[in-house]
Amino acid sequence: MAGVRSVREIMVDVFEYPHIPYWFTLRQAAGIVRNTLLGGEKPVHPLVVLVFDEKYNLVGMANLREIMKGLEPLWGATGDPAAAAAAGGKPASESPVATIMRPTTAFVEPEASVADAARIILEHGLELVPVLEDRKKLIGVVRWQEVFQECSRTALGG
């Protein structure tokens, strides 16, 4: 059953995913998404970037939807970059990623069961959940696809 295998057995390396510091702008984040997640022959799923602080602590994540939403004043029908600039504000593309990311609120321990990880993913609506050793050190991430494989196998057999 899904409860038997541990998170450690199904987690993937954090370096599978792009890392950005929270002070990077949406312009920089969008460029990195294009070059990394979407740059290869096959997109890297889930489409999400990990956001870190100065001390390499994971502080949040952002998916394409959130980055796009942050850039909406520049591409949306009502968007008028000139008006925004005239108002003295910086264009949305120069806002830091910290303003649009989802802060990290949930994590799993490496020895937790896959079912525990599945519950956290469902409860928090996450694409992936960070795996922290001793509640501190980021050692991997658990993704939807592996959790799905494991849980569906348990539920349906095969």
Partner 1 sequence: MTEAAATRTQIDRENPQKLYLQLHSILKGKMERGEWGVDAQIPTEEELCRLFDVSKATVRIAVAELVREGYLRRQQGKGTFVCKRVIPEGLSMLTSFKEIMLEAGVVFETQVLAQTVMMLTDELELKLDVPENKHIIYLKRVRLVAGEPVLLQESYLPHAVCPALLAEELERQSILELLEERCGVRVTRVRDYIEVVALGEEEATILGLSAGSPALLLEQYFFAGDAQVMYTRSLKRPERFRFVIELERT
* Of 7, 10, 20, 48, the one binding partner 1 by CB under 8 A: 20
Angle at 72 between CA 68 and CA 77, to 5 degrees: 130
Q: How far is the CB of 85 from partner 1 (least distance, A)?
A: 18
| Three-state SS at 127 | coil
User: How far is 101 from 92, CA to CA, in rounded Å?
Assistant: 14
Q: How far is the CB of 148 from partner 1 (least distance, A)?
A: 25
What are the helix and strand counts (H, E) for the chain? 7, 6
Residues in a beta bridge with 58: 52
Cβ-contact 63, 46 below 8 angstroms:
yes
Binding piece for partner 1, criterion CB under 8 A, among 1-9, 54-62, 87-95, 99-107: 54-62
Residue 18 near partner 1 by CB under 8 A: yes
* Of 9, 35, 85, 152, the one binding partner 1 by CB under 8 A: 35
Binding-site residue total for partner 1 (CB under 8 A)?
18
* Of 54, 86, 134, 156, the one binding partner 1 by CB under 8 A: 54
Strand order in the sheet with 102-103: 19-21, 48-52, 58-63, 102-103
Residue 93 near partner 1 by CB under 8 A: no
Closest by CA to 71, choosing from 58, 84, 61, is 84
Q: How far is the CB of 89 from partner 1 (least distance, A)?
A: 17
Residue 31 near partner 1 by CB under 8 A: yes
Binding piece for partner 1, criterion CB under 8 A, among 33-41, 89-97, 107-115, 123-131: 33-41
CA distances from 97 to 2, 15, 116 (A): 35, 19, 29
Which residues sit at the interface with partner 1, rule CB under 8 A? 15, 18-21, 24, 28, 31-32, 35-36, 39-40, 52-56
